[in-house]
Structure 1
């Protein structure tokens, strides 16, 4: 499943008031951080993650790794903030068609 532009726009609107739930520290992307992101996605479906990496290409690689490890979709990246979406078993968020 891929997200359409309309669905991404809808999710961006929902994510706007959210604060980052997970922030990567000095150790970078560890198994514990991935598990925390996975848990947050399970509870919230839509989250923001702060990746304080200065190198843009490395930051994008971290974003892609997070998405693939958690099975989530990248809705948007704004600077160092990543917005992720993964539908829950019983989704609370109803996506437009």
Structure 2
């Protein structure tokens, strides 16, 4: 597995600004974090590089565990969490998003 991505503050800010207008592409349902949901997240990351995931879980600790599991599984970079929405970034082979120099 690849090591987790590290981004500078400038790069994080750039990703946050890009993510601002995005709608969540993956929504966790009543079944929580299933293999199907993980596959969907992987696909969305490969296709978009920068995605939002809505986790409607009420318990903050449980939500945090879900975020951690997603990040560990996808090896994506956790850009930010706002409310129940997790924003992830993972460069694809196509390199669609160009980050500013660190």
User: What TM-score results when the alignment is normalised by the length of structure 2?
Assistant: 0.92
- Corresponding residue for 2:93? 89
Structure 2 residues without counterparts, runs of 5 or longer:
none
1: CA distance between counterparts of 2:56 and 2:95? 30
2: CA distance between counterparts of 1:32 and 1:62? 14
- Residue 46 (structure 1) aligned with residue 50 (structure 2): yes
- Residue 60 (structure 1) aligned with residue 64 (structure 2): yes
Shift of 1:71: 1.3
User: What TM-score results when the alignment is normalised by the length of structure 1?
Assistant: 0.97
- Residue 19 (structure 1) aligned with residue 23 (structure 2): yes
Superposed structure 1 runs of 4+ greater than 4 Å apart: none
Shift of 1:87: 0.2
Shift of 1:57: 1.1
State the aligned residue count: 97
2: CA distance between counterparts of 1:60 and 1:96? 29
2: CA distance between counterparts of 1:4 and 1:80? 24
RMSD: 0.7
